[in-house]
Amino acid sequence: MRVGSGVDVHAFGPGDHLMLGGVRIAHTRGVVAHSDGDVLLHALCDALLGAAGLGDIGQHFPDSDPRWKGAASARFVSAVLAMLRARKLSVVNADLTVIAEAPRIAAHREAICLEVARLLEVPAERVNLKATTTERLGFLGRAEGIAAQAVVLVSEG
Ligand code: MG
């Protein structure tokens, strides 16, 4: 067994929706990002890469590369999963946390868990999603952006 963790943050910017865990969520802001700015999938990719000892998402999908401009982050997850497969690593479970004042996650929790499980090709009960605020403290508390944390366990063989 190997464990990995990942963290990501994006600033809010103009827009009317966010991508979170591959799910489009209507919101009063968008995020500033080179790709679709899906913090949850970016944190998940880093957790998967960390578990495999393969560095981080910036090394594999640099934001200086025009190929990834506006890219659906689901593509990053699929590419990372293929890297793990090539090393005979499979995902046991993923525990995800969104940290933001808004949007509220509860109404989207099930859809996000299902989509992340689909991307990871694991049963939905292997994906857990939590959400918290920072009690209005700091940049997240001022709703200047959104953060996510991911922890994954992978098994060898
Ligand atoms: Mg990111």
Q: Distance from the CA of 119 to the center of ligand 1, in angstroms?
A: 17
Q: Kindly report the CATH number assigned to the domain that includes residue 37.
A: 3.30.1330.50
Range of the domain at 16: 2-156
Q: Distance from the CA of 42 to the center of ligand 1, in angstroms?
A: 5
pTM for this entry? 0.97
Q: Distance from the CA of 136 to the center of ligand 1, in angstroms?
A: 22
Q: How wide is the angle at C-alpha 126 spanned by C-alphas 81 and 86, nearest 5°? A: 20
Confidence of residue 118 (pLDDT cuts 50, 70, 90): very high
Taking CA atoms, 156 is separated from 10, 26, 73, 89, 92, in Å, by 32, 39, 25, 5, 10
Q: Distance from the CA of 94 to the center of ligand 1, in angstroms?
A: 18
pLDDT tens, 1-19?
Answer: 999 999 999 999 999 999 9
pLDDT tens, 52-82?
Answer: 999 999 999 988 888 888 889 999 999 999 9
Q: Distance from the CA of 53 to the center of ligand 1, in angstroms?
A: 19
Please give the tally of structural domains in the chain. Answer: 1
Mean predicted lDDT score pLDDT of the chain: 96
